[in-house]
Amino acid sequence: MSTPKTPGPTSTLPAASKAKKEASELTEQAKTAARDVAQNAASAAKNQAASAKSSVADEMSGVASALRTAAEEMRSGSPQERTFGQIAEGLADASEAMRNKDLSEMVQDVSAFARKNPLVFLGGAALIGFAATRFAKASSTQDPQIMLGSPGTEPHGDFS
């Protein structure tokens, strides 16, 4: 009866070494792939942020222009004319600052302002939130009568 040959301790070393080397190579490939994906995602996020920043700056510039036009049509020297003019200038300055700064600088500036003036920052954030909510409601494409269930409209679904 023959006994099966068992590999000796020296024959497992090359296999173990080869497996470690392959595992190390796979790990490096995975790290490189993950690094590439992260760089691509960061690049896409930067591009999206730049596009959004440009869009917001254009919108602010348009609002400033509309406020200037409104101020010009008001009685010269009136409080409303001065207020609209000041707001228009502030928006125009903010629009230019937004165009000339990158996102990280803007975040640092807002953060510094929030630390120095927390109540003003929170109040401004609340006002922006209210304005955004009103804008979203005003630009809603749904018919309000359908939403309220006015007479003559059929409900969607069986609620009985």
- At 116 the pLDDT is 92
pLDDT at 113: 87
Please report the pLDDT score of residue 37 as a whole number.
92
Helices and strands of the chain, counted as H and E runs: 5, 0
The structure tokens listed for 87 are 């707001």
CB atoms within 10 A of CB 53: 16
Q: Which residues contact 56 (CB under 8 A, 6 or more apart)?
A: 98
Q: Is the pTM of this model over 0.85?
A: no
Q: What is the pLDDT of residues 19-51, one digit of tens each?
A: 888 989 999 999 999 999 999 998 998 888 888
Intervals of the chain under pLDDT 70: 1-13, 141-160
Task: Specify the pLDDT at position 106.
Answer: 82
